[in-house]
A and B are shown apart, each in its own frame.
Chain A
């Protein structure tokens, strides 16, 4: 879970499992990779906050209607029976993660993970209200005062508003968001809606406001097994020690070679901008989320010193060892591991979409009645069934039911049924055959339904016909 606990409870014993965490005050950073990160913040959040507002005809474009057990996605209606698609989507997500990790390490973590994205948004708010890194540190050290309290309060008000809106948006995927907002305005939301808005909002506030890098360090399973997808050609954020050491401060005009110094001027900016508070110059650590803030910071310093950029850069173990240039390093991206990941990913994606596009808009389930076959007038044998139709198209349809499997078997009584758009209907169906057909006991039969207006829309289901001995 993710909420910050209340004040330390009495009797809390500290277990020295890790070094005690100091609160991290990341310094603001600008540059190429920070730009990419903000681009992804905008992209992912426009998607997340925007999707529930889009309509498709007269209904929301994306709606997980749990109450009616239907999922609407663009023009597609999915039922619980279509759970396989969600599984497929999860497989695709996992494979994508493997692929990105193999190519360039923790791209997901550094740029697109909600934890990173919301932390970025919350830190921006913090910066606007409490000031930059040194101002924030000073503020936290200072005793409580009216000015300090009002700043802190303003920050939390802004955070809570963002968190609440996030919670409302989340629930807006399950309840049409305009209805939800109407209900919120009139304070008439259902208990579960209220609960989930607050729960999700609280998790956002706790994770992005307080937990931050601790989520990545202690809670994220991916962080623990990411190394399994790394190899010596994976691009990771690397400090070029050969070029940087021995580090030391010097004047801008000095010739580092004459002073016996490397390119690192030991300004510690790379440490100050790091959201997880590590020193990248000690080599890759598991805490590094691959956000590349240190690259941006260091490149700016290198520019100021008129040294070439790239003292800290995305590079691979092999490139460092063999002194490969960028082009030679990029050529190694197309290696077996990456090609296999890509191939499987492509195959699964294609299979999923093909299956989704080709699926029949009608589903049929047959539930035999528990009363076994019986004899009716003229010695006919009769079995009854309940047929469940699921119409996942957006048009109302009329279906004709047929049955085969035993000689002269037929549907007695009603054979045509209306099903509304995106409707589910359970109908009783009676099946008869003349005496002497079928063997005593169970006989396999098959039901087939066809749309009256479109022969190609059909579905079939197997069942058994019982002949009394």
Chain B
């Protein structure tokens, strides 16, 4: 958004989507990645016979984005089911 832009981000659909779908799922992904990797060491994770992680950091980051994507899908479904593709009216 630039100051010249008549519609700030919060008023646009893309902005609504970010605030109501991507943001809550981001918060939950942070919690989930903490719980998940405190119980499971990524170096012990073997996925279909493949060692996913070359470093633990990579595994944490990839895990974080996987969780984020999953939770975002969940929030997006809620968003769509609530009021159709435009998202909630309030």
Question: Within 8 Å of chain A (Cβ to Cβ): is B60?
Answer: yes
Query: Which of chain B's residues have a CB closer than 8 A to the CB of A191?
Result: 58
In Å, the complex CA distance between A219 and B20 comes to 7
Contacts of B5 in A (CB 8 A): 7-8
Is A66 an interface position by the 8 A CB rule? yes
Among A7, A17, A21, A83, the one with the most B-chain Cβ atoms within 10 Å of its Cβ is A17
A285 within 8 A of B: no
Contact A86 B34 (CB under 8 A): yes
B17 to chain A, nearest CB (A): 10
Contact A219 B13 (CB under 8 A): no
B13 and A21 form a contact (CB under 8 A): no
Chain A residue nearest to B35 (CB atoms) is: A83
The 8 Å CB contact of A211, one of B10, B12, B57, is B10
| Residue tally, chain A, CB below 8 Å to B | 38
Q: Hey, which chain A residues are within 8 Å of B12, CB to CB?
A: 5, 8, 12, 14
Complex contact B38–A4 (CB within 8 A): no
Q: Does A210 contact B (CB under 8 A)?
A: yes
Residue A308 interfacial (CB < 8 Å): no
Docked CA distance A83–B38 (Å): 7
Distance in Å: Cβ of B19 to nearest Cβ of chain A: 5
Looking at chain B's contact residues, is the secondary structure mostly helix, strand, loop, or mixed? helix
A14 to B11, CA, bound (A): 7
B23-41: which residues lie under 8 A (CB-CB) from chain A?
Answer: 23-24, 26-27, 34-35, 37-39, 41
Chain B residues with Cβ under 8 A from A221's Cβ?
24, 27
Given A66-B57, A192-B57, A218-B19, check contact A12 B13 (CB 8 Å).
yes
Contact residues in B for A8 (Cβ distance below 8 Å): 5, 7, 12
Question: In whole angstroms, how far apart are the Cα atoms of A190 and B9 in the complex?
Answer: 33
The yes or no answer to A418 lying at the interface (CB within 8 A) is no
A9 interfacial contact with B, CB 8 Å? yes
Residue in chain B with minimal CB distance to A24: B8
Look across to chain A and name the residue whose beta carbon is closest to the beta carbon of B68.
A1
A93 at the interface (CB under 8 A from B): no
A67–B5 alpha-carbon span in the complex (Å): 43
In-complex Cβ contact of A66 among B2, B22, B60 (8 A): B60
Is the pair B10, A1 in contact by a Cβ cutoff of 8 Å?
no
Q: Are B61 and A195 in contact (CB under 8 A)?
A: yes
Q: Are B10 and A214 interface neighbours, CB within 8 A? A: yes
Q: Once bound together, how far apart are the Cα atoms of A49 and B14, in whole Å? A: 33
Closest 3 A/B residue pairs (Cβ): A214-B10, A83-B38, A1-B22
Q: Residues of A with Cβ closer than 8 Å to B?
A: 1-5, 7-9, 12-15, 17-18, 20-21, 23, 66-67, 69, 80-81, 83, 86, 140, 190-193, 195-196, 210-211, 214, 217-219, 221
A sample of 15 more A-B contacts (CB under 8 A), given A5-B12, A217-B10, is A2-B23, A3-B18, A9-B14, A14-B13, A18-B90, A23-B8, A67-B57, A83-B34, A83-B38, A140-B3, A195-B61, A210-B8, A211-B10, A218-B20, A219-B19
